[in-house]
């Protein structure tokens, strides 16, 4: 292709270039390469068709990826909050707290009983969760779905 890789191509030009690339691949496999792309480039300059913009076949990202916050070095002295109003989360939360208290005795735990008071509707919970996290000074969350 030419120096400008962002050149807009007509449909006919795109087909010619892709055909030239395919032909060049075949020629390279069976014998000396021909200067097919230069020939196609000269022909395409003469074409006077409407121009279409060419997009990558895999699509263009439309969502900016989120960068997760830095992980905590330790859970000692941190406030760990449990969020989950799904099947048996209260039981699994109690087991997790017992295990974590043995390893991190200075950690504080705020259970799902506090956060489940927000509501059960997903939109309501997601809207209220940041304020509840600030109010309870949560450093980390355990979000569960039970068993």
Q: List residues bridging with 140 in a β-sheet.
A: 80
Domain range summary for the chain, segments of one domain joined by + = 1-61, 79-143
**Burial of residue 82, with CB atoms counted within 10 A of its CB: 0-12 exposed, 13-18 middle, 19 or more buried:** buried
For residue range 25-82, what is the model confidence (pLDDT) as tens digits? 444 444 444 444 545 555 555 556 677 777 778 877 788 888 888 899 999 999 999 8
Residue 82's closest CA among 133, 11, 24, 6?
A: 133
Q: What is the DSSP letter of 66?
A: P
Pick the more confident residue, 94 or 41: 94
Q: How confident is the model at residue 100 (pLDDT cuts 50, 70, 90)?
A: very high
């Amino acid at each position: 292709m030419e120096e400008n890789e962002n050149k807009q191509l007509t449909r006919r030009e795109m087909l010619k270039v892709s055909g030239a690339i395919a032909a060049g691949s075949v020629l390279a496999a069976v014998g000396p390469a021909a200067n097919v792309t230069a020939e196609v480039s000269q022909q395409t300059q003469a074409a006077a068709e409407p121009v279409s913009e060419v997009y990558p076949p895999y699509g263009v990202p439309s969502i900016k990826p989120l960068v997760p916050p830095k992980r905590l070095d330790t859970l000692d002295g941190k406030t760990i909050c449990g969020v989950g109003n799904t099947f048996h989360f209260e039981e699994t939360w109690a087991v997790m707290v017992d295990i974590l208290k043995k390893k991190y005795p200075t950690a504080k735990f705020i259970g799902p009983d506090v956060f489940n008071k927000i509501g059960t509707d997903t939109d309501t919970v997601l809207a209220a969760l940041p304020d509840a996290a600030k109010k309870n000074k949560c450093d980390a969350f355990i979000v569960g779905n039970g068993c």
